[in-house]
Structure 1
Amino acid sequence: MSPTPPLTRRAIFAQAWPIMLGQATVPLVGIVDTAVIGRTGDAAALAGVALGGTIVSFLFWSFGFLRMGMTGLTAQASGRGDTDEVSALLARGLAIGAGMGAALTLLQVALIPAAFAIFAGGPAIDTAARAYVSARFFGAPAALAVFAINGWLLGLGRTRAALALQVWMNLVNIAACALLVWHLGLGARGVGLGTAIAEWSALLVGLAIVAPQLRGIGWARVADRAALARLFAVNADIMIRTVALLTLLAWFANAGARLGAETLAANQILMQAVALVAFVLDGFAFTAEARVGHAIGAESRAQMLRAIRLTGEFSLGAAILFAVLIAFGGATAIPVMTTNPAVQAQALALLPFVIVLPVIGMPAWLLDGIFIGATEGRSLRNAAILATALYIATDLALRGHGDTGVWIALTLSYVYRAGALGAYVPRLLRRLA
């Protein structure tokens, strides 16, 4: 049986800070990509990267269960002391991720036209977005396999290894995008190619990190039908949950695109700040995933309750800190991101929404981590579907209020999601009563 890790504030922070640092580099890449295009002053190109990024995120993160389901299942196997299953989960995740990514690459000839038939843009925006999306698809097999590696590392609490992998991928991404856009003049296509190159490099580094765990693995255990059935059952619900939330974000991006290139570009800039907050606070949510999963594997209700309380304390404090930082620094950061006066004005007008979002969104992000660690796929699925439906209804009701209505609906979506997941908390606690 694996030893139970300590559940102290110091231990929680020691586990969370590498995730926070690594996660912070994820939106920083988006910020750099946005700035690389934004500094050209071309609103259509910036809007194209925003729209293309939404499409790629929708398609790739539909398979985000490879990260989330892997974390919860690995943590529970570790809590039971089942080292063979820990290794088998890694092999299953890599095989499924690479296979599904290859299928995405092959199907892009049908998926890309279908995506642009749904999203509103316009000729100039669509041209840039198509160039970005087609380039990103070359990295699909690597991207999905890296999802599995990251989820497995986080499930074991190996957050420093996950940090190293994330930082490597993002540094390569930043360097490649700057080279391809500024020096080779490839525009939106260069941003997409830079990210694809970074994903393949990250897969090579990730395989080097986990290679010892794959040596001597029993492949009969990897192909165990019961384990595969559980993996797909958990992941099917998480996939539906992820698609629902991606639909929400895609609807938000499309709402901005409907209002014009300047509005879409302004929303893209503001969403970089939202993404930065969400990804950094995910440091505590991911820690909650591992700790809750370990507690369930060890059948310890006391561990689970303490894990929820400690990660909740840290999450709330960090959310308040971010709100203060955005309130004082947001107006200074926007002109750095774009030189277009119309885009700057639009982003400044909507900045108050970004200031309040850290505190409003924090409960939803933390609850996601708790339920992912518990592999409560049905709760996650149902809450996401309900929150997305309520969000779309709110957005439609506020169509007459322009981009302000778009941001009000997005803000309320986090309230809907937290409330829906909160309703399932008593049932989760009864699981270890």
Structure 2
Amino acid sequence: MDKKFFQLTFYNILANLTVPLTGLADTAILGQLETHTFLAGVALSNVLFDYLFWGFSFLRMSTTGLTAQAEGNRNITESFQILIRSLVLASFVGFLLLFLKYFIGEIGFSFLQGEEEVKASGYDYFHSRIWSAPGTLCNFVLMGWFLGRSKSGIVLAATILANVSNFLLNIWFVLYLNWNAAGAGYATTISQYLMLLFFLIPLAKERIRFREVYDKIRIFSLSGFQSLLSLNSDILVRTLLLITTFSLFRNYSSGLGSPVLAANAILHQLILVGAFWIDGAAVATETIAGTLKGNRDFEGLKRILKLGIISGFAISLIFCFLFLGFSERMFAVFSKSKQVAVLAQEYGYWIIPVLLLGSTAFIFDGFFLGMSEGKTLRNCMIVSSIVFFLPIAYWGKLEASNHILWLSLATYMFGRTLTLGVIAYKKFFLRKMFN
């Protein structure tokens, strides 16, 4: 188990690392332009994409856990049914988003705060990136299915392809063709469809397994879709609350001026780098926990949770030490604006408590996702968002204090760790794991 855990963690970290690094590269590229308006506009537009795309990241999360449990039971039929049903759902939602794109853009930007030039840049980015919707959501499903089958190497290769192509296209579109914020959106769209095409290669190799169970597959089973939607609805609520927390943080930041918004956007990207490092261990925990649940291995579940928590905290410590050593040089690279770089340096130390407190929460998330405990994740997120985040964030807005806004993120991470930890303690020590 230990060997499998560290192997999966290694591949997952490599795969995850390219995602925020590309986001940082995009931030650095937009930061090279003469004005920070485009960088701030993309940050504002990403509030909408957090809801539209990451709001449906349950397609990845639920697929991983359910697939791992099916593989643990050696139920090939169920594994393919999960894949096909999830792809049907992802395609439907993706094309629905395209159909409603103008309505979503108009309504969404009417709620977002920002200077007119910033909102105009964000609008350009939105309309160029929204075309990636079907590809992005189907990629979530395929990532989840391959991760649930412990095929992290495939996900690593696909992610590297998508993010390297995104980075290169960003340089071309933004710096050479001067498409600015719209160019960044088109780069992301093209890279997502390249990723989808890549996934079709290993998927084609699964045709022999698929033929073995073809006659048993019931794609449009009402009970099957109800089970999938029930789990997904709980994870959706949990994810929407997570996104709302960070969206409120960014929206309150915009009220402090575009330089603060741009600085917080840089810091947010750095937090994503650290979070994606830790998420390597979280996804490994998720995959193995799902398999162990399929085998009904209670002691194995206890061991993998402890291993995940220790590994996640160790990874967060390593990242924080690296951040302390290189932060000043990084901020100078990410923005030509001295004002933005100085603000990022001033508020940057909040990254440390946010990640250290959040590392255990990320592992708990992975563990309960692998167990398909959607209601646990939903309920704990409700408490963390409403009790631990919102009052302090609103206080920061009233006081116009960015330090208080960052404090709200730190307490939010503490709340997630506390609430999920209490549930895990009760399940283990009261022996209710399989009830």
TM-score range, shorter chain: over 0.9
- The 2-side partners of 1:408 and 1:171 are apart by 34
Separation of aligned partners in 2, 1:227 and 1:308: 29
How many pairs align? Answer: 426
Alpha-carbon distance between aligned partners in 2 of 1:311 and 1:169, rounded to the nearest angstrom:
28
Post-superposition Cα deviations, 1:84-116, rounded to whole Å, max 9, x if no partner, equal 111111111211111110101111111111111
Q: CA deviation at 1:220?
A: 4.4
Q: How many angstroms apart in 1 are the aligned matches of 2:193 and 2:18? A: 17
* Residues 1:243 and 2:236 aligned together: no
CA contact (8 A) 2:142 2:199 kept: yes
Aligned residue for 2:150, secondary structure, equals coil
- Alignment-derived partner of residue 336 in structure 2: 339
CA positional deviation for 1:427: 4.5
Q: Render the CA deviation track for 1:119-162: whole Å, top value 9, x for unaligned.
A: 10120110000000111110000000000000111111111111
**Partner Cα separation in structure 1 for residue 310 and residue 417 of structure 2:** 16
Q: Are the counterparts in 1 of residues 317 and 356 from structure 2 also a CA contact under 8 Å?
A: yes
In the other structure, the counterpart of 1:3 is none
In the other structure, the counterpart of 2:396 is 398
Q: Is the 8 A contact 2:8 2:150 kept in 1?
A: yes
Matched, 1:102 2:104: no
Q: Could you tell me how far apart the structure 2 residues matched to 1:218 and 1:279 are?
A: 39
Query: Match for residue 292 of structure 2?
Result: 295
In structure 2, distance between residues paired with 1:137 and 1:213: 31
Give distance in 2, aligned partners of 1:19 and 1:83: 24
The alignment's TM-score, normalised by the length of structure 2, stands at 0.95
Q: Secondary structure at the match of 2:218?
A: helix
Contact 2:11 2:156 in 1 (8 A): yes
Residue of structure 1 in register with 2:407 after alignment: 408
- Name the CA distance, whole Å, in 2 between partners of 1:11 and 1:319: 21
1:125 aligns with 2:118: yes
Which residue in 2 is equivalent to 1:205?
Answer: 198
Instruction: Kindly indicate whether the alpha-carbon contact (under 8 Å) linking 1:324 and 1:355 is maintained by their aligned counterparts in 2.
Output: no
CA distance in 1 between partners of 2:201 and 2:81 (Å):
17
Identity of counterpart residues, as a percentage? 28
Which residue does the alignment assign to 2:384?
387
Deviations, residues 348-387 of structure 1 (Å, cap 9, x unaligned): 1011111333211101111110111111000111111221
Bigger shift: 185-194 or 349-358? 349-358
- RMSD across aligned C-alpha pairs, in angstroms? 1.4
Q: Which residue of 2 aligns with 1:4?
A: none
Contact 1:85–1:221 (CA under 8 A) maintained in structure 2: no
For residue 16 of structure 1, what is the amino acid of its counterpart? T
TM-score, structure 1 as length reference: 0.96
- Residue 231 (structure 2) aligns with: 234
Residue 322 of structure 1 is matched in structure 2 by 319
Question: Cα 1:226–1:213, aligned 2, differ >3 Å: closer, same or farther?
Answer: farther
Is 2:77–2:217's contact at 8 Å kept on the other side of the alignment?
no
Give SS of 1:398's match.
Answer: helix
Alignment correspondent of 2:22: 29
Q: Which amino acid aligns with 1:398?
A: G
CA contact (8 A) 2:396 2:402 kept: no
Q: CA deviation at 1:213?
A: 2.9
Distance in 2 of aligned mates of 1:219 and 1:264 = 53
Native 8 Å contact 1:395 1:406 kept in 2: yes
Which runs of 5 or more structure 2 residues have no equivalent in the other structure? none
2:257 is matched with which residue: 257, 260, 275? 260
Distance 2:378 2:220 in 1: 26
What is the aligned counterpart of 1:369 among 366, 369, 376?
366
Q: Supply the AA of the counterpart residue of 2:124.
A: A
Task: Give how far 1:22 is off.
Answer: 0.7
Residue aligned with 1:172, SS: helix
**What does 1:50-69 align with in structure 2 at a 5 Å threshold?**
50-69=43-62
In the other structure, the counterpart of 2:417 is 418
The answer to whether structure 1 residue 348 and structure 2 residue 345 are counterparts is yes
Describe the shift of the 1:235–1:52 C-alpha distance in structure 2 as closer, same or farther (beyond 3 A): same
2:13 aligned with 1:20, yes or no? yes
Residue 431 of structure 1 aligns with which residue? 433
Q: In the alignment, which residue of structure 1 is the partner of 2:84?
A: 91
The Cα of 1:218 is off from its aligned counterpart by: 4.1
421-430 or 275-284: bigger deviation: 421-430
Separation in 2 of the partners of 1:428 and 1:18? 30
Deviation string 1:250-288 (CA, Å, 9 cap, x unpaired) is 101101111111000000111111000001110000001
SS in 2 for 1:266: helix
Unpaired runs of 5+ in structure 1?
Answer: 1-6
Give per-residue Cα distances to partners, 1:204-232, cap 9 Å, x unaligned: 11122212335433474222222222111
